[in-house]
Amino acid sequence: MIKGINHFLFSVSDLDTSIQFYRQVFDGRLLVKGRRTAYLDVDGMWFALNEEK
């Protein structure tokens, strides 16, 4: 039985542009940013962004 969803993982082509998009559109709060990954909190759900060129 599924009790909840912890996070969503999105592959993106430009990490910085994607961070701005998810912050503006979903009011996401940036939690962690690395060279190719970032995690944002969107109403208690984590959006994980993974930059793939």
Biggest distance spanned by C-alpha atoms of the chain? 36
The Cα 18–Cα 4 span in angstroms is: 25
The hierarchical CATH code for the domain 7-51 is 3.10.180.10
Question: How are strands ordered across the β-sheet holding 37-42?
Answer: 7-12, 45-51, 37-42, 29-33
Read off the pTM: 0.86
- How is the chain split into domains, by residue range? 7-51
Helix (H, G, I), strand (E, B) or coil at 13: coil
pLDDT along the chain (53 residues), means of 10: 90 98 97 98 95 92
